[in-house]
Amino acid sequence: MLRLKNIQETYDMKVFTDQGDYFGDIEEAILTQSKVHGWRVRATKNSFLSKVLGSAKGVIVPHQLVKAVGDIMIISRAAVPSYSEEEAPAEEVTQV
């Protein structure tokens, strides 16, 4: 059964990847007319996103990469920038 959610219910919602990594929190929805175009995800302390971005505040995730929305939001692993702690030069991290 399809359940509808009010956009306001998604603010500050936790975002996880489909592999179980904590990604960040929803900051706002990006709307075009009556459709959700994307989601601004805030890099929060201890999130995977904060490790990858460094000093940046967050990223915009296209709505096509959202797999599920309920008590949490699940996004595709494709939304996560490629990152290796051992091999990541500073340039690669800032291009996100």
Domains of the chain: 7-79 (2.30.30.240)
Banded pLDDT at 83 (limits 50, 70, 90): low
* Mean of per-residue pLDDT scores for the chain: 81
- Torsion from C-alpha of 52, 54, 58, 64, nearest 10 degrees: -20
Question: What sign does the CA torsion over 9, 70, 39, 34 have?
Answer: negative
**pLDDT single digits (tens) 21-44:** 899 999 999 999 888 899 999 988
In which band, very low, low, confident or very high, does the pLDDT at 80 lie, cut at 50, 70 and 90?
A: confident
pLDDT of 95 strictly over 60? no
Measured between alpha carbons, how far is 41 from 7 in angstroms, rounded to an integer?
A: 14
